Structure 1
Amino acid sequence: MTEISGGEFTQARETNLANSLSGKIAGVNATSLATGAGGSSRVVIRGNGSLSGDNQPLYVINGMPIDNSTPGGSPTTGGGGQNVDRGDGIGGINPDDIESISVLKGGTAAALYGSRAANGVILITTKKGAVKKGIGIEYNSTATIDQVVDYTNWQYQYGQGDGGVKPTSQAQAISWGRRSWGAKMDGQPYISFDGLQHPYSPQKNNISNFYNTGTTFSNTVAFSGGNETTSFRASLADIDNKSILPNSTFNRKVANLSLSSKIGQRITIDALAQYNLEKAHNRPSAGDAPGNPNWSNYMIANTVDVRSLSPGYDANGREIQWNETPYASNSYFVVNRYTNDDTKPFYRSVWHQI
Structure 2
Amino acid sequence: MATSSPRSTPRFSKFLALFLLLGFGKTYCASDPPLTLDYYKSSCPSVLEIVRKEMECAVLSDPRNAALIIRLHFHDCFVQGCDGSVLLDDTITLQGEKKAPPSINSLGGFRIVDRIKNMLESECPGVVSCADILTVAARDATLLVGGPYWDVPLGRKDSRTAGYELASAIPTADESLPSIISKFLFQGLSVTDMVALAGAHTVGMARCENFRARIYGDFEATSGASPASEAYLGHLKSVCPPIGGGNNNVAPMDSVTPNLFDNSFYHLLLQGEGLLNSDQEMYSSILAVQTREIVKKYAADPIAFFQQFSESMVRMGNITNPESFVNGEVRKNCRFINTWAPEI
Give the TM-score normalised by the residue count of structure 2: 0.20
Q: Which has the higher strand share?
A: 1
Give the TM-score normalised by the residue count of structure 1: 0.20
